[in-house]
């Protein structure tokens, strides 16, 4: 090793002689840290998303590698958030990759004390049957004055404020066609 290389091993020498005068980047790197790569660098895809928590609408960039979310970062292009995320938004990779997430349908029969497994298709079919039956049970054609009601009072729903507009649209459209009116969300709360 010549003298020059030997001196340049010292971060302070690199800081004084190189471009990194504040010593916060290249000057401060060790051999190991110089080789480190951000996990965002080798992502297969980067998708533009929006934080799912409050309604400010901070931009997010979602990095995916091998079909797993590897990082979620603030989107610096967003004129709303300018790349920032709050503690919740910054933890949203934790949210979507959590091992605590429910990934299988669970079913609790009447009077049971434990969950049971149930296939998704079976669950969908059972729910459809129950909606049809409850809808008929709670059906009202007219009120006591003979005015048209054409509705069911036996099926209710709550939720929508965390969902997409397109989802709320289908929810309202389907329930209205079913005659179910007690369709509500957090905006009432």
Question: Binders of another protein among 51-90, rule CB under 8 A?
Answer: 51-59, 62, 64, 67-69, 72, 76-82, 84-90
Determine, following the binding rule CB under 8 A, whether residue 29 of this chain makes contact with another protein: no
Contact stretch for another protein (CB under 8 A) within 13-21, 24-32, 33-41, 43-51 = 43-51
Record the tokens describing residue 84, joined without a space: 């920032």
Determine, following the binding rule CB under 8 A, whether residue 129 of this chain makes contact with another protein: yes
Largest CA distance in the chain: 102
Residue (29 or 131) nearer to another protein, CB: 131
Q: Specify whether the CB–CB gap between 135 and 152 falls below 8 A.
A: yes
- How far apart (Å, rounded) are the C-alpha atoms in residues 16 and 147? 87
Determine, following the binding rule CB under 8 A, whether residue 145 of this chain makes contact with another protein: yes
Determine, following the binding rule CB under 8 A, whether residue 158 of this chain makes contact with another protein: yes
Residue (38 or 80) nearer to another protein, CB: 80
Nearest one of 76, 72, 86, 74 to 43, comparing CA atoms? 72
Determine, following the binding rule CB under 8 A, whether residue 17 of this chain makes contact with another protein: no
- How far apart (Å, rounded) are the C-alpha atoms in residues 73 and 61? 5
């Amino acid at each position: 090793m010549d003298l020059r290389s030997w001196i340049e091993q010292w971060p302070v020498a690199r800081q004084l002689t190189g471009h990194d005068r504040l010593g916060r980047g290249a000057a401060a790197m060790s051999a190991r840290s110089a080789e480190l790569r951000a996990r965002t660098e080798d992502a297969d895809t980067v998708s533009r998303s929006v934080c799912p928590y409050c309604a400010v609408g901070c931009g997010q960039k979602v990095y995916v590698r091998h079909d797993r979310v590897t990082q979620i970062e603030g989107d610096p292009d967003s004129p709303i958030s300018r790349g920032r995320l709050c503690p919740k938004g910054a933890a949203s990779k934790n949210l979507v990759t959590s091992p605590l997430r429910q990934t299988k349908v669970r079913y609790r029969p009447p009077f049971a004390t434990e969950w049971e497994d149930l296939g998704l298709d079976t669950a969908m079919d059972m729910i459809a049957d129950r909606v049809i039956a409850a809808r008929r049970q709670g059906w009202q054609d007219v009120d006591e004055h003979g005015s048209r009601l054409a509705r069911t009072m036996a099926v209710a729903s709550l939720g929508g404020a965390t969902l997409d507009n397109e989802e709320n649209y289908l929810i309202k459209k389907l329930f209205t066609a079913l005659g179910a009116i007690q369709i509500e969300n957090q905006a009432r709360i």
